[in-house]
Chain A
Amino acid sequence: MGSSQSTSEEVRELVGKTGFSSDQIEQLHRRFKQLSGNQLTIRKENFNNIPDLELNPIRSKIIRAFFDNRNLRKAPTGLADEINFEDFLTIMSYFRPIETNMDEEQLEHCRKEKLRFLFHMYDSDSDGRITLEEYRNVVEELLSGNPHIEKESARSIADGAMMEAASVCVGQMQPDQVYEGITFDDFLKIWQGIDIETKMHVRFLNMETIALCH
């Protein structure tokens, strides 16, 4: 390994920070170089080189999530212009599978982190709430793969979902009460029944960088 970024000391540092094993870091680094075209940083345009990603309906949100300062733990708002390898790993660490030796507290922390990542994806204006507009936007994007579905349907689904969320989080509401939006705690409540720890992970074990870029 001759590259300046993959000296064993830096690797060890990264291992400590992100929790990946050194093999995984090696592989991810290779992928990073492929994406960035051997540069040190990645910009948004680099993600356009992945052909499979084109078909993904929520592509823009995913790419945005990589540059979101909240996910990178740099700032409460805003987007970064470019990310380096360490940032790349930070984002990827949200998708690590849970380990068997975790205790309750660590498990809870892990769960919260993953859900926070999701929350940031929904809450695009970083105000800490998922408003009705943002939710509608999410549903529209999800349905964007079907060109002949109109906005009306997407909006009504989002409205229905929002009302359901309101009734779950607040309960009975008077006609004059207003529900501003889903806060992170409400979000946790909604996700309570679902085991996010077991669902939100990608196997980093055997990765071959066979997905080619243009």
Chain B
Amino acid sequence: MPGPGFCGLSPLRVFPSVFVVAALLGLLPVLRSHGLQNTVTSKVSTMGLYIGPGDGDVTSAPPEVSHEVHPVTNHSGPFHGKPRKPFPVLGIDYTHVRTPFEISLWILLACLMKLGFHVIPTISNIVPESCLLIVVGLLVGGLIKGVGESPPVLESKIFFLFLLPPIILDAGYFLPLRPFTENLGTILIFAVVGTLWNAFFLGGLMYAVCMVGGPQINEIGLLDNLLFGSIISAVDPVAVLAVFEEIHINELLHILVFGESLLNDAVTVVLYHLFEEFAGIDHVTLVDIVLGFLSFFVVSLGGVFVGVVYGIIAAFTSRFTSHIRVIEPLFVFLYSYMAYLSAELFHLSGIMALIASGVMMRPYVEANISHKSHTTIKYFLKMWSSISETLIFIFLGVSTVAGSHHWNWTFVISTLLFCLIARVLGVLGLTWFINKFRIVKLTPKDQFIIAYGGLRGAIAFSLGYLLDVRHFPMRELFLTAIITVIFFTVFVQGMTIRPLVDLLAVKKKQESKRSINEEIHTQFLDHLLTGIEDICGHYGHHHWKDKLNRFNKKYVKKCLIAGERSNEPQLIAFYHKMEMKQAIELVESGGVGKIPPAVSTVSMQNIHPKAPSERILPALSKDKEEEIRKILRNNLQKTRQRLKSYNRHTLVADPFEEAWNQMLLRRQKVRQLEQKINNYLTVPAHKLDSPTMSRARIGSDPLAYEPKPDSENLPIITIDPASPQSPESVDLVNEELKGKDSVLEEEEEDERGLVMHPKEPSSPGTDDVFTPEPGDSPSTQRMLRCLSDPGPRPEPGEGEPFIPKGQ
């Protein structure tokens, strides 16, 4: 968009190009230095990411590691008889760090690219990120080729073992479970039947084309074509995620296409292995087909089973991590990754295992782990999946340049055409069938989006790459066709889907904040429908869901969730979560000095006018209230300072002068805090010290407030202006206070104790004064306390007066 100043815009435009150039320049010396050491086939090959005479054949035996033959000038032993060189102060040993260096460089390139795209908003509005990344990959690949090296190809092993799992785990862990389970039938039908249809339709038609297509492709048999069909027919989760993320369509369509892309992995795995096996055999018997059918169930259900087992173990482990919070996220990642690897070990569906483990462990793990761990998990998953995705697309581009291609017009064009036709026909047919059973029917608009959103991606490429050239001589042809289809779907369909969505006015995602009202209503509705079903005598959806919930509550939660949380009903957990979120939001926004417009001025007074009669607070005079208010407010700042450097002897000398501005800011912040907390957090002291609350305490959120247990003591506020020890003394009164609607409700959350210091002449800015009066003590106030982070365990001396009360 046109900016105000032209010169202001150009640095921004220059930035990404600078990044790109820098990244590429960084690569060049790498390549040059490699050129000097041509004979080095070092450990890099085992990692698979080698820049060598591009062969990329995984099935070849691991290359002999002929060790570094670089000119050994540095470590010549005495018995070599070489002329003695002076001791090298500086030396270069590139091969030592080569592998990690190159990997880091690639990842850095990916990150810089991502950064660059967001600096130029104009392009990223039109072109989805995935396309841009592929283009970058093409450029980089071209550059590397131009330098004279052969660019690296996307090794299947790296792809399946390192790049794909983070994306799938991110998707599975944060899968919106409710819409997923509600539409499970539809998703399964699309995934299984749809993919089968695609594979066979495409394979069959391609076979027909091959028969008549000319001499180049005549030898491709039916099984080969079916294999090709099964590779290319699977909708790719990575591509779908990348494109659909940006267009924000409604939840239903998103979950349908995305769920399909996840669940069709089982079908793809089975078909792939099936046809790969059969490729050597001449004819297929019925037994083979039956076995293939059986293997589908084994692969999918086995994958899910493995995932569930690992998920339960992870949930169980998290129950005991309350003392070592720092490694909690690691458990989640490791167990999920192990689930994936274990499934891959047995040729089961790794993706389904990963999804199942994420879904299984999430509710229990989240109840057990700390708030920080939760945030860590979320951010790490997002980070890894984002980088993985970027790398995948870049490598797709590079591999396109790198690979040896075999272009055959007939084959490629007909593949493309039939892919599209197969997808459209499949979706139409299946929707017609599914709509008979759905309450919420799929409209033609929905069907169009589902068909159009069937993108192919890197999984297809990697599967093609895995083919053995010896068994499949037409591997290059396949790869070319696959790449063409991927490019077409990602570029053409990816770019046009957004304007099409707008054009067709497809319902977009509703940004609804989860409110407590919604939660109450949803639960109410669930119970209502279950009740109606019971009355009708119909064992339907809700009945079984209710039974599952009850089973979960009674048995499973007790095992897998630590401590008190296991009994916490969902509504309360939700409410606490929301409270915490609001409190954090409040604190974060409070420092700016303006009240966010979303703050409502509705308070308890507005909805419950009878509340005043419940006030236990005897009316204090206005001045006393003001004074108390000032003291408490000031104390907030004092508290913070005190806690920073706790030393009871240095407490007395509070540096007033430097803290002046800080105090003014605090007061402003406190004022907003009062208002907002007044509105939302009317929660009285919970007798049930729920772990959410203790998490808030432990989680070192400043100003998180903590309910204190009931106490019989009447709170005593005694002010002692002069204690024997020093002119200004601090007297922390032991208040065990709890609170509710009181006049001073506003201050409830801020203070921790009372601080006293000698009276100063009052002036508008300096109202930190409390006039002591002998007979003033016990005013029955109930106040909530707000603690700054006291650490994982409250100190033993907390809450007691620092200095014994003088008389």
Contact = CB atoms under 8 A, between A and B. Distances in A.
B177 to A, nearest CB: 16
B131 to A, nearest CB: 34
B571 A173 contact: no
Nearest to A180: B607
Interface string A52-82: 1101111100100000000000000000000
Choose among B537, B550, B604 the residue with the greatest number of A CB atoms under 10 Å from its CB.
B537
Given A52-B534, A157-B575, A203-B541, A173 B510 contact: no
B686 interface: yes
Q: Interface centre among B524, B530, B679, by most A CB within 10 Å? A: B524
B508 interface: no
A56 B572 contact: no
A142 B538 contact: no
Nearest to A212: B537
A28 interface: yes
B606 A149 contact: no
Interface stretch (A5-13, A103-111, A162-170): A162-170
Contact of A209 (B537, B572, B602, B679): B537
A202 interface: yes
A164 B520 CA distance: 12
A143 interface: yes
Given A132-B608, A165-B517, A172-B601, A58 B535 contact: no
B531 interface: yes
A200 interface: yes
A179 interface: yes
Interface string B589-621: 000000000001111111111000000000000
Contacts of B609: 178
Contacts of B579: 160
Contact of A177 (B516, B520, B606): B606
Interface in A90-121: 92, 95, 97-98, 100, 118, 121
A203 B538 contact: yes
Given A56-B531, A191-B521, A149 B537 contact: no
Nearest to A52: B534
A173 B531 contact: no
Contacts of B516: 157, 160-161, 164
Contacts of B608: 132, 159
B687 A62 contact: no
Nearest to B575: A157
A174 interface: yes
Contacts of B518: 193-194
A203 B440 CA distance: 12
B439 interface: yes
Given A146-B567, A179-B606, A200-B525, A50 B517 contact: no
Contact of B607 (A59, A132, A203): A132
B525 A174 contact: no
Interface in A137-151: 138-139, 142-143, 145-146, 148-150
A141 to B, nearest CB: 9
Given A139-B571, A157-B572, A152 B684 contact: yes
B524 A142 contact: yes
Q: How large is the interface on A (under 10, 10 to 19, 20 to 34, 35 or more residues)?
A: 35 or more
B688 interface: yes
Interface in B68-116: none
B418 interface: no
Contacts of B684: 152, 156
B495 interface: no
Nearest to A162: B607
Nearest to A166: B602
Interface string A188-214: 001101100011111110011111000
A165 B519 CA distance: 13
A209 B534 CA distance: 10
Contacts of A16: none
Interface in B15-53: none
B746 to A, nearest CB: 12
A145 B534 CA distance: 18
A191 B518 CA distance: 8
B538 A149 contact: no
Interface in B670-720: 679-684, 686-688
A174 B569 CA distance: 35
B745 interface: no
Contacts of B440: 198
Contact of A62 (B520, B532, B543, B575): B532
A43 interface: no
A175 B527 contact: no
A31 interface: yes
A52 B543 CA distance: 9
Contacts of B524: 58, 118, 121, 138, 142
B662 interface: no
Nearest to B682: A159
A56 B527 CA distance: 7
A47 interface: yes
B728 interface: no
Contacts of B569: 143, 145-146, 149
A194 B605 contact: no
B523 interface: yes
A155 B609 CA distance: 16
B517 A190 contact: yes
A93 to B, nearest CB: 12
A121 B603 CA distance: 26
B529 A97 contact: no
A62 B537 contact: no
B281 interface: no
A58 B531 contact: yes
A159 B622 CA distance: 28
B640 interface: no
A34 interface: yes
Contacts of B536: 28, 31, 92, 202, 204, 207, 211
A189 B579 CA distance: 23
A71 to B, nearest CB: 13
A174 B601 contact: yes
Interface string A16-48: 000000000000100100110000000000010
Contacts of B601: 172-175
Contacts of A2: none
B616 to A, nearest CB: 15
B600 A172 contact: yes
Contacts of B602: 163, 166-167, 170, 172-173, 179
B441 A100 contact: yes
A34 B538 CA distance: 13
Contacts of B532: 62, 92, 95, 202
Contacts of A211: 534, 536-539
A11 B347 CA distance: 58
Contact of A203 (B439, B510, B571): B439
Q: Of residues A34, A203, A210, which shows the largest number of chain B Cβ atoms within 10 Å of its Cβ?
A: A203
8 contacts: A35-B535, A58-B531, A132-B607, A142-B527, A163-B604, A166-B606, A173-B600, A204-B538
Which 3 A-B pairs have CB atoms at the shortest separation, nearest pair first?
A167-B600, A211-B537, A52-B534
Given A160-B681, A210-B539, 19 more contacts: A28-B536, A34-B537, A58-B524, A62-B531, A138-B524, A142-B524, A152-B687, A157-B571, A157-B572, A159-B608, A160-B575, A163-B602, A163-B603, A163-B680, A166-B602, A174-B601, A202-B532, A202-B533, A208-B537
